[in-house]
Structure 1
């Protein structure tokens, strides 16, 4: 039996426009196998009730008629059953409530209380549009297409489908004002028991313990199973060309940040439900596996049936159990999926110009973009692109993956994407505001500050725009606590859109109602959230095969780019860590160290235990990110097959002057060996960059909030700290760990400062320790003689 039984009620004049994507699901060639679709054209109430009785739908889509014939400026009106003479919307509300679907999507004008009332009457998930706001037909068409595609094709839950559709719509329908600012389009609101959020590793199904391992394996404590921490994915990185429907203005850091998050979510949805089909042991082992590990080539099919294969390294005790291998693949691929990142052209180069071909997206204008991801993701995306029934890529505007055109584009998709690519008026009708799809001016899409940037290293789209805040994994900091009927308040964990009680004053915002504990945890989700690090892959579990860091910044460097991790201003906090290596960093962007509500409850660092440190850090990050950090799963990032040792990393860095010192710290030679992640047989490359990235992601703000932890050593040669007008050429002695200005050490043959800060770096020994070493060696020679 099909998972989704869809009943679509559409007006007679909406077949080719807003509702075309929903009706495509009913086509024999484009309809997915897990959906049955019944379409009613301008139905009467009796026809609706008869269809409900026959098909027993669990997804009902109701659409109002377009009020204007002009597609670009058309808006959606209210829905009425044919022949319904009763005023208002009570008839529709009662009909949907009696049908009791799992999802009700009302693509029409409704009152502010429609969504909450329908949810209160027993419909678990309700999608409704903001009351009092014009619903653009093109935006509505794109949104319902993406929602249905992710819900049905990609096996997303209704809250996940809502989040993915919001990201896709904001990427393609964002409005660029005449002053260069972006404005998010009008978005629907979600009323349900779960907060809309893109999926992460927490959505992986729990492990079913294989027979015979019940006594040895606790599914809630997998790292305790022998050899589990040595499991790693061997997946090299690759650049992939994607053709996206739209104009040059789509190649913009803000818009690609939304699209990047949606693409990563798509890969997570595919990987979390994969099935292992075969595993073949490898005779020749990769060189970077831990001692005692074997490797196997694992063939699998994803949730949507895309076939792929990867190499998994693990101890033989893990590889011999198919259930463990399958779960390890799900975990590592999901973790690696979040490393996908868009790359913008270098500054000074023109943006790619749109072009078209009938063979690609039916002749819709497309532009070239480049993403950096793992080879398994390339394989999966290409496979999905060739499946005519898989519509999620088309809903994201992906016209081609590499040289493979997306086969799922239908005439309705071509009409919709062509309309959006041609430019739409702003929702508020402001003069000079159009969707930034057709701009060919590089300046119109150039991020502030310029530079090659990766879209997923920018601040979260929700933090930038305030629209659809809840869909990115957090809820807006504009929490509204409002009066409501007692029956609604009893729901406790029910989430309502701002439209539900506030007259849709804030389109797309999600607010907690009736639960003070959850309201206290509300806030925007930062791009590098602590429990889902963007850079956590590539450093062990879920890492790249060559051991290079696969997170933000690393992809650009490996691909010949020049940028590190881009901050919210479009600049890189790593600027100056290059050849000169003399830049120092005094504080993270936009953070002064003062965090309201936070009080340090741990003892001084010298007397602090690891458990006390992690408890305090989790509390700090929860307040900073506006998202609860689960202590038992923190951190999720892994390095060299072991959970990241943030305690040792923090102690070693602050004892060397803090993160501001930059490359004056020998990250690989001095910091890494003092962490639990280090092993004598370690052959991983890019450790220094990975440690910097993890420190910036988890610890930089925490360091700024605790200046007392930082050791501000004086130069042991000149007895000064930072000299006015001088370069901050700090080096740390490998023996005594005292600090020295490189320019103060006048010994011959010392080399240049960059010799100690680039790559693996030379080991620096200060003059005093060098003399002690020479004296000790001389004494040893005398005794030998």
Structure 2
């Protein structure tokens, strides 16, 4: 930033207890200063420094107002600029609208100016708030102005201290203005699918949806006793919204993995909707995790997904909203507090705001940062019990300077001040007579302290213990859980423990078969498949996977990842070092991993694949003396990273049908470890098979179909005759 000052302002000294801060380099803001320069000195400085921001400060008058520029060439500011133009120009002079429009027409994108006259105290507060935002984070001019303007409204406009001597004017015309267009996030429209697509992502659904809960966050704001009205809450809301917009506009997507849908919402998902858990770092290096759902085309493109998240958060959401459900916000006048660890001992008051959970995590991570000054610009001294570490004594003095006048007026109007909670009378005892609602209503208007002692009837139901709810683990690619007695439809199923202990008698086989067939038929009718639609086809000339060589396959995978923007997965050494993942002291065998998974129905078959017993044993990473634990989860994670999107863009998955019922309906799929055929677990009505969960585990049992059990009966051990291995 290039700061152009007037010579008469160098002798500014604190007056009336207001400390004027120096304009110096700090944080991300590097300042070069010129004092009453000539035209040539100004042009040389602009050409050599090439600043992003140029700040023009008017002279300070005797009546504490800010005057115009008084140095050579200041009468024609647009003529001072040549080919090198800054991004932002801040004119701290009165009646600067015409000059601002001339500078904007010359090609300067953003110009900040004042329409009317203003005091040096109001100008100092806005300037200090603006520069605090710029030095704290890499922010856009639009967002930085919105935050600084909210701080100006919160302390200067609300306290009627924009003009000297408390001049009475319309506050809507006071204050700085911004000339320029708001920034836009480049989100390209979704590509239309081909006419041969049987199903596609519904057009009436949003591109993405973020799942997060709203929480109440308590802020301690520097100031004295004041009324919690719209003039205080609205600027604070706008300022916190601008702060979160700055953090999200400069955020980066670091990692994304597929995740289960939100609880109780899986049935509402349409076909083609996928769910991702996204790890994001904000502009000031705060880390959050978001659960996002959207189309496969959006969720598998890192840059497109990142832009959609920014657009959803910044352009389409009101992040911060004031709440009035706390006792403090219900009172007409807030109760000031003091603490040596908050705002350097200055008085503060409490305000409750409703924000998303991820936003509260961002604010709590930024509060302890001593270099982050954007919270101080809004007067926030504490976030949910965490003190803002960058709050200094001079900050509290400047903010309280604007609250003196309002503080005196409020104390004059407080005829019946509210009683603090620790001084309120206790509830009536049991011997006290219970008054009816009509009497309490009349007496409540005549009570001196504004509180009515009403004894309410005790609710017996509220004293009963809350039953413990067994949360069902959501497995979207398998059948309905058999361990839970109730499903979402309200139907009751027979619990497993209610079965006879002797599983090999003829009387117990019928209920088991009926229960399994009921589970499969219910799932086929009511559960919505979460299998995403195939992505746009790769269009490669690779050979079919069953005859493709490993070198040809790895080259095609590398080209696909580069085409989709996943350059972080490609090592510098190229094909010789691809992939760079190591498993069991060997380079990950992507070729055999992909062949085994697609031959068994693809990744979204879910737990029907025995990853350790059927997949890992066919890979070069497997050893006879292998003792690795968690191999199945490791293979799933590597497959999601390198091959899941590749699988969706190719037609390599074998289309399977149940070898028992000859249908491809949804159900509890299991894969035979001998012949490799697929079957519905509910269609196999042999006794002694156990439960589906015994086979769905990563290290679970190996399923053997009835045909293989009969043909290999004489060759297998006796324990395998009933389906176990």
Q: So what's the TM-score if we normalise by structure 1? A: 0.44
Q: So what's the TM-score if we normalise by structure 2? A: 0.47
Structure label with greater radius of gyration:
2
